[in-house]
Amino acid sequence: MTSSALRPAVPLLVIIIAGCIVAAIGNGIRTSFGLFTLPMTSDLGLSREGWGMAMAIQNPARGIAQPFAGAFADRVGTACTVAAGGALYALGLVLMAFSPNAAIMTLTGGVITGVGIAICSFSVVMAAFGRAVPAEKRSLIFGVATAASSFGQFAFAPISRGFINAFGWQTALIYLGAMLLLIIPLSYALRGRSERTAGRWRCRFFRPCRAPGAMAPIGCW
């Protein structure tokens, strides 16, 4: 492979900045959901248990969707994957704003939002960094990206609270969903996909798999 084939499609600094903003937005909005507990349960008549279950469903939804998101990113590229995840994440928030009961809230705020979070997650962004960043700088850049993701939690707590106080929880969710759409243009900087290493198992869902001679996961052939 030539050096030009290995060169990032966009400048490295642009990739890092775009990836850090994506991580900050995605993680920051996710961690601000607790601020919606009191206004949403009060207005919708939800119990704390019903609201808590809807939010708790996000975790298994994310966990189940994450391997498929990684495989999808390997197949079609990180940019398309992150953009699709950002759009689904935003859709989940908008639908949350119009969810009338706990069952619908579990579907919109739990399943749809959880899958969207997984598809545009921090780990997918880190894969793009791993491709573009030279090996000797990866530890530093991964640390910067982790800090950016944590900064999102710090930044979006007052933003979300301000939206709720100024506009109400429904409009606040819609505004946060609109902010998530910023992920779509930012994902362009992360385009590219991982190359399959020769001599390894090919796998529908988890690539690359273990080398021949090791126990292969279900789904490999």
pTM: 0.80
59-118 pLDDT, tens digit each? 899 999 988 988 888 888 888 999 999 999 999 999 999 998 889 999 999 999 999 999
| 203 SS3 class | strand
For 15-190, give the CATH class. mainly alpha
Asked if residue 216 lies in contact with residue 202, where contact means CB atoms within 8 angstroms, the answer is no
Burial of residue 20 (number of CB atoms within 10 Å: 0-12, 13-18, 19+): buried
- In angstroms, how far is the first alpha carbon of the chain from the final one? 26
Burial of residue 72 (number of CB atoms within 10 Å: 0-12, 13-18, 19+): buried
Q: What is the mean pLDDT of the chain?
A: 82
The answer to whether residue 190 scores a pLDDT higher than 60 is: yes
How far apart, in whole angstroms, are the C-alpha atoms of residue 165 and residue 36?
11
